[in-house]
Amino acid sequence: MQASDRFNINSQLEHLQAKYVGTGHADLNRFEWAVNIQRDSYASYIGHYPLLAYFAIAENESIGRERYNFMQKMLLPCGLPPEREDD
């Protein structure tokens, strides 16, 4: 692999990371990454009707109630953020 290939790959990765939040970046901590994954999952569950219907049947709830529950879970999917250390 040549130096120009590495530069090209890194510039493409930086472009994707700037364009899409879920792809992460160098300063992304573990909590923020987990929140992105959880929110993407809940959005996918809400957006795909058969999957939403499956969850509704499995939990014996209506589809509307499951959609509402998933949207509520998207607010704080991993709980409160940890305390930041200001060094």
Q: What percent of the chain has pLDDT over 70?
A: 87
Query: Is residue 15 included in any domain, yes or no?
Result: no
Containing domain of residue 48, as a range? 30-76
In the predicted model, what is the mean pLDDT of residues 27-41?
Answer: 88
Q: How many domains does the chain have?
A: 1
Round to whole Å and give the CA distance between 22 and 27.
Answer: 13
pTM summary value? 0.73
Q: Is the pLDDT of residue 81 over 80?
A: yes
Q: Tell me the pLDDT band of 28, cut-offs 50, 70 and 90.
A: confident
Query: Is residue 41 included in any domain, yes or no?
Result: yes
DSSP states of the chain:
--HHHHHHHHHHHHHHHHH-GGG--TT--HHHHHHHHHHHHHHHHHH-HHHHHHHHHHTT--HHHHHHHHHHHTTSTT-SPPPPP--
